[in-house]
Structure 1
Amino acid sequence: MVRRLRFNGTGSGDDGCPSVHEDLDSGEVIVHGPPLTDPEDVARLRHLGEGEVPIVVPRALLVDWGPKDMTREAKIIDLDGFGRLFTQFEHTAWRLETRRRYASDETTETYAQFTRGESVDWNERDSEWCANRREQAALGKRIERVRIVDSPPTNGQLYLLDNARRNSAVGERIMNLRRAEADQLNLPSEDFWLFDSRMVALLMFDDADNLTGVELITEPAEVVRYSMVRDAAMHHAVPYEEFAAGLAVKE
């Protein structure tokens, strides 16, 4: 079975070697770098088994990018606590949306209108949510999202593409990225918010696509990894208007 590997980071800004990856299923760590080749050095190693290859990596690579605190207890907050994060952040809130559907969308009247083929009027919908976004934008805060879209898009993804008009109207910046391109970039399948580049809110869903809880992550190396995901996604994503226009031409 092919391993599900996650790139943690590299100690080199030039050629990407040496680097650390993590097996998401087993928790094993894969490190690659230049081999230790001097016969005298190799002869000094203890317990070097047949087929094993010694490699040399800077100590800082393991300090910065080796998985830490494997036994830590996850910090889970409820949805009310999650909502308060959108008034407490200071500068930026950024989201990656990767799922094919969100159960909460499908309970709304706007979703029913959309699936009936009616034009949805997004003005003043969900007023408490809109008021919060307008308030944060007025304070100079930046709220952005990149939404991953399949080919062909699911109904839920098409709904969110139309819904982006509301997000944009209250001060959010919405971008889209095709899933094939996201896979090429090795973006994760996780849904998360990144607040002020210092705290990650990892969204947890059940098998029916309901949001059930949120895990807060503040470990610096993990936050940097999610920040790298944001940078890659933002670099390749396009504004939702441009993305929607491209879909219309394709149809």
Structure 2
Amino acid sequence: MATTDPTFEELFRSAKHSAWHFEARDAYALDEDYQEWIAGNHFDPAERWPWWIDLVSASVARGVDVRRARVVSEPVSAYIRYEHALTSGHNVKAGESVRWLPRRQASSLLLPGNDCWVFDRASVLFNHFNGDGEMTGEELVTDPGVVHACVSTFEAIWERATPHEEYRPV
């Protein structure tokens, strides 16, 4: 009998205490939304992605601590400027706490090789991307050593990082 891993949404909806996201890429897929924003059409992210607002809001309402820590190069890329501009109307509006850490301040940390979500300090969902920033897959890991390493790193990043409201991209 084959078993399948839960989907990202299933993991998120089943989180009881925490859902933490670590991001370390300076650009992701330069999709139509990014192209539109760069061209000057500064849309409302809450209208564009209401499913995210609903998912996070429902989780926060039931007591889940939702955090996102972004490690970024400075000067920041155009993509990071785009992400920063959208964060208040998208991530923060949904109920996420978001912090930014300049990469030069992360040199003494051992960062995961991939972006990831940590759920309830019990599992890690690694996100795999190709060189162009397109997601190529996910990998769910429950090995206690890997989970502990990711939790410790996330906490260290969070401690050093600047809250979204105070971070000004350089």
Report the equivalent of 2:83. Answer: 160
Deviation at 1:121, TM superposition (A): 2.3
2:91 matches 1:148: no
Cα distance in 2 for partners of 1:223, 1:123 equals: 32
Q: Which runs of 5+ in 2 are unaligned?
A: none
2:70 alignment partner AA: R
Describe the shift of the 1:90–1:205 C-alpha distance in structure 2 as closer, same or farther (beyond 3 A).
same
| Cα distance in 2, alignment partners of residues 181 and 157 from structure 1 | 17
Paired amino acid for 1:135: A
Partner of 1:158: helix, strand, or coil? helix
Residues 87-166 of structure 1 correspond to what in structure 2 (within 5 A)?
A: 87-103=13-29, 106-109=30-33, 111-165=34-88, 166=90
Q: Which residue of 2 aligns with 1:227?
A: 151
Q: Is structure 2 residue 169 aligned with structure 1 residue 240?
A: no
Please tell me whether the aligned partners of residues 76 and 213 of structure 1 are also in contact (alpha carbons under 8 angstroms): no
Structure-2 change in CA distance of 1:180 and 1:236 (3 Å)? same
Q: Which stretch has the larger CA shift, 128-137 or 113-122?
A: 113-122
Residues 193 and 154 (structure 1), Cα distance of their counterparts in 2 relative to 1, 3 Å cut: same
In the aligned structure 1, how far is the partner of 2:72 from the partner of 2:19?
21
Q: TM-score, normalised by structure 1?
A: 0.61
Matched, 1:182 2:111: no
Runs of 4+ in 1 over 4 A off after TM superposition: none
With over 3 angstroms needed to count, the CA separation of the structure-2 counterparts of 1:157 and 1:76, relative to structure 1, is farther
Give unmatched runs, 5+ long, in structure 1: 1-74
Post-superposition offset of 1:76: 8.4
Within 2, Cα distance between the matches of 1:116 and 1:92? 36
The count of corresponding residues between Structure 1 and Structure 2 is 167
Whether the 8 Å CA contact 1:122–1:163 is kept in 2: the answer is yes
Quote the residue 1:216 is aligned against. Answer: 140
2:123/2:140 contact within 8 Å kept: yes
1:118 Cα deviation (Å)?
4.6
For 1:237, the aligned partner's letter is: A
Mapped pair 1:81 → 2:7: yes
Per the TM alignment, residue 137 of structure 1 is displaced from its structure 2 partner at its CA by 1.3
Question: Take 1:204 and 1:214, find their aligned partners in 2: how far apart are those partners?
Answer: 6
TM-score by length of 2: 0.88
**CA distance in 2: counterparts of 1:156 and 1:127, whole angstroms:** 21
Which entry has the higher C-alpha Rg, 1 or 2?
1
Percent identity (aligned): 30
